Amino acid sequence: MKYEITGKTKLTALLGSPVSHSISPQMHNEAFHELGLDYIYLAFDITPDTLETAVAGLKAAGICGFNLTMPLKVHILPLLDELTPAARLAGAVNTVMVRDGRLIGHTTDGTGYMRSVTDAGFDIIGKKMTLLGAGGAATAICVQAALDGVAAIDMFKRKNNSWDKTEAFCDSVASETGCQIRLLDINNTNLLAESISESTILTNATSVGMAPNTALSPICDQSLLHKELIVSDIIYNPRETLLLKQAKAQGCRYFNGLYMLLYQGAAAFTCWTGLEMPVDLIKKKYFSN
Ligand code: NAP
């Protein structure tokens, strides 16, 4: 059956740069089609320099909502009228909903991640997480894990110029959620070993190991990955990173970032349409591991 654009077709979109590799257009358009919704999702290559003009134009044209990917998740903040509590805490937005001419910023990376944990068959509520990285994805995961009731999070990053800002972020999430959050130096191997030994889950939210640098892992000493540990890498290209290969060799249970990608999209879809994305169909068509 062919897609039919009508005079009433509602526009949704992805803004970012680059965007041509993204599977979000296929995922959303397939879901709109499956549910018989008169919506379309397009990808636009937009940089921080063109963001304000693009958003004004799309808003004037009556767009329903849009996603933001790298490098725009923080640049969008001053252009928004409202933020959800999770987006405010994370300081980043990947989904915007337009309601009565107001732009409302959401973050669905964190909910997408937490749903992928459940989908993989794990329960980490009340448990401890070792979280590697402190970029856009890591902060969204940290906020949602804390909001959902993960008891303690050790966030590891390099001691570089974003350290103080990240420390302030950790303090504010800890005080607003009651989760115990520590910011630690990723190059301190003793602290990393201690944290992993106490954790139920190790989550890699750095870009280390992502294609084309597939020979790298954020964990140098594979023996730190104890048998009871769940190892999660939010990278999905490659499907099996070196970290996940190490986890497999150590006998750990593990999963990649493919379903985080699916579920962050599903949450955006619900935000715009009020309906559940038909995730089983989308999984089968676009997300085979
Ligand atoms: P980002 O904001 O650029 O953050 C990158 C993070 O990686 C930073 O915390 C940075 O550490 C850390 N890092 C980079 N090189 C490092 C190194 N050599 N050693 C230690 N840490 C290093 O990027 P992002 O948007 O958060 O994305 C991070 C990864 O997640 C990417 O691979 C992306 O593809 C993936 N991702 C997946 C999904 C999904 O749906 N599955 C969604 C979003 C992102 P410092 O803070 O120490 O500088």
* 279-286 helix and 258-273 helix, angle to the nearest 10 degrees: 140
Q: Measure the CA–CA gap between 18 and 63, rounded to whole angstroms.
A: 21
Looking at residue 48, its pLDDT comes to: 98
Residue 178, Cβ density class (10 Å: 0-12 exposed, 13-18 middle, ≥19 buried): exposed
Closest C-alpha to ligand 1, atom 17: 208
Looking at residue 4, its pLDDT comes to: 86
224-257 pLDDT, tens digit per residue, is 999 999 999 999 999 999 999 999 999 999 999 9
What number is the average pLDDT over the span 167-190? 97
Residue (of 287, 278, 277, 261) closest to 108 by Cα position: 261
What number is the average pLDDT over the span 2-9? 87
Residues 6+ apart with CB under 8 A from 141: 109, 110, 113, 114, 131, 203, 205, 234
Domains delineated in the chain: 10-107+262-286 (3.40.50.10860), 110-256 (3.40.50.720)
Q: Measure the CA–CA gap between 161 and 163, rounded to whole angstroms.
A: 5
Classify residue 155 by its DSSP letter: E
Residue 229 Cβ < 6 Å to ligand 1? no
Classify residue 182 by its DSSP letter: E
Of residues 73, 127, 159, 227, which has the active-site annotation?
73
Closest C-alpha to ligand 1, atom 22: 206
Q: Is the pLDDT of residue 1 over 60?
A: no
Residue 156 Cβ < 6 Å to ligand 1? no
Residue 136 Cβ < 6 Å to ligand 1? yes
Query: What predicted TM-score, i.e. pTM, was given to this entire model?
Result: 0.94
Q: Is 283 a catalytic residue?
A: no
Q: Are 226 and 198 in contact (CB under 8 A)?
A: no
94-123 pLDDT, tens digit per residue, is 999 999 999 999 999 999 999 999 999 999
202-213 pLDDT, tens digit per residue, is 999 999 999 999
116-174 pLDDT, tens digit per residue, is 999 999 999 999 999 999 998 999 999 999 999 999 999 999 999 999 999 999 999 99
76-93 pLDDT, tens digit per residue, is 999 999 999 999 999 999
Q: Measure the CA–CA gap between 230 and 284, rounded to whole angstroms.
A: 25
Provide the percentage of residues in the chain whose pLDDT is more than 90: 96
- Across all residues in the chain, what is the average pLDDT? 96
pLDDT interval class at 44 (50, 70, 90): very high
Strand 230-233 relative to strand 201-204, pairing: parallel
Q: Is the pLDDT of residue 2 over 80?
A: no
Please give the number of the atom of ligand 1 that sits closest to the Cα of 237.
34
Long-range contacts formed by 119-126: CB under 8 A, 24+ apart: 119/259, 119/263, 120/230, 120/232, 120/255, 120/259, 122/201, 122/230, 122/253, 124/150, 124/200, 124/201, 124/230, 125/149, 125/150, 126/150, 126/151
Amino acid at the residue 47: T
Q: Are 203 and 232 in contact (CB under 8 A)?
A: yes
Classify residue 175 by its DSSP letter: H
Q: Is the pLDDT of residue 41 over 90?
A: yes
Looking at residue 246, its pLDDT comes to: 98
3-state secondary structure of 44: strand
- For residues 287 and 195, the model is more confident at 195
What number is the average pLDDT over the span 213-219? 97
